[in-house]
Amino acid sequence: GDSVTQMEGPVTLSEEAFLTINCTYTATGYPSLFWYVQYPGEGLQLLLKATKADDKGSNKGFEATYRKETTSFHLEKGSVQVSDSAVYFCALMGVRGSQGNLIFGKGTKLSVKP
């Protein structure tokens, strides 16, 4: 079945450092891909998405490019801030079936130190 694998955390960075969180997927066809962020004590917020190969999703300085050839959707940010500390989830929505549900990776906890 469909699945998402993302790098294990936690990831600890200094403020203004470059961030990469790796995400790869297994799915039939061309799923839609997402990054969600979860701040402490809160639910999930959609950070960005891409719905077809070579699409680049971007939001709040974060970017991810849908790479069909490597089945990847890595999250990047050029300069992280303390306020970016959160748990990041990569997710896909498969093409099978008519309704759709999200399949999530295990999450990567990011801590940014001042």
Partner 1 sequence: KAGVTQTPRYLIKTRGQQVTLSCSPISGHRSVSWYQQTPGQGLQFLFEYFSETQRNKGNFPGRFSGRQFSNSRSEMNVSTLELGDSALYLCASSLDSPRNQPQHFGDGTRLSIL
Count CA within 13 A, CB hemisphere, residue 33: 33
Cβ pair 64, 37 in contact under 8 A:
no
User: How many residues of this chain interact with partner 1, rule: CB under 8 A?
Assistant: 23
Residue closer to partner 1 (CB basis): 68 or 96: 96
Binding mask of the shown chain, residues 37 to 76, with x at each position contacting partner 1 by CB under 8 A: ----xxxxxx--x---------------------------
> ∠ CA(24), CA(25), CA(29), 5° rounding?
140
Binding site for partner 1 (CB under 8 A): 32, 36, 41-46, 49, 89, 91, 93, 97-107
